[in-house]
Amino acid sequence: MKQERPTFFSAAMVKRILDKNSSTADTTETTIQNFSAEDIGFENIQKSFKKIFPEARLLKNVILPMEDDGLVKTAEYDVMVVCAAGIHIFEIKGYPKGKVWYEKGENGLRLWKIDNGTTVSEIHDPISQGLGKLYYIRKSVQCFSKYYVYFTGDEIDLEPTMPATVLTTDELPYVSRLAYSDAKFRKSMIKKEEVDVIADAILEISSQYTIVEHISNCREFHKHKHAA
């Protein structure tokens, strides 16, 4: 009989992780090698959060199941920060330069665009892209979680009316400070032991999935979408 892969953080999983001796665990986890834009984003996020949250665990390119929460069976989380202030999810956009804005389309959906000075290109709405990911985390883990879109390029100019969760590198230090301030105000700081439990549980689930499988799921979704 085929053994089902875990999709949520069960009590047994948490207990098993708590029983482990995690004193030698590295606080920086990398599940697969990725492109330079995500590497740059990862390093910048790490520098920003580690200054305030030395206990933070940073996870990169995590593949998790969406089950019925998404149109694609799995989702890739570019960067996840698990720290005393909860779980902070970052969608990395590696455009080197350009002005970024969005406008409403005929169907009411937001059309994101970037003008690099030569051409204007459309960007798949990164906020709607992350809603399913955030929902899965929120229903799986009983702690604060938030989703951000991070443009890593040095010459990115965001429209002033952009949501506050859409960021450039200059704004990263403010995000980590605000996360600390909010958690302290809510009196919801997570202990280091709990940070490790959550991060290890995420990695344990993610280890059951591969980037090849995720790409296959994406292709299958687009195949059915175009066929409909």
pTM: 0.82
Asked, for residue 6, whether it belongs to a domain, the answer is: no
pLDDT in tens, 8-63: 444 444 445 445 434 333 444 433 333 578 899 999 999 999 999 999 999 999 99
Asked, for residue 117, whether it belongs to a domain, the answer is: no
164 sits in the region (left: phi over 0; alpha: psi -120 to 50; else beta) called alpha
Domains contained in the chain, number: 1
Asked, for residue 69, whether it belongs to a domain, the answer is: yes
Type and span of the H or E element at 175: helix 172-186
Asked, for residue 1, whether it belongs to a domain, the answer is: no
Asked, for residue 186, whether it belongs to a domain, the answer is: yes
pLDDT of res. 160: 93
Of 35, 41, 61, 14, the C-alpha closest to 196 is 14
Asked, for residue 66, whether it belongs to a domain, the answer is: yes
Lowest mean pLDDT among 17-21, 58-62, 96-100, 152-156: 17-21
Asked, for residue 104, whether it belongs to a domain, the answer is: no
Paired tokens of 214: 């995720």
- Contact criterion met (CB below 8 Å) for 123 and 100: yes
- Contact criterion met (CB below 8 Å) for 120 and 113: yes
Asked, for residue 196, whether it belongs to a domain, the answer is: yes
Q: Which domain holds residue 36?
A: 11-97+127-227
Integer CA distances (angstroms), 33 to 110, 130, 195, in order: 31, 21, 24
- CA dist., res. 123 & res. 102, Å (int): 9
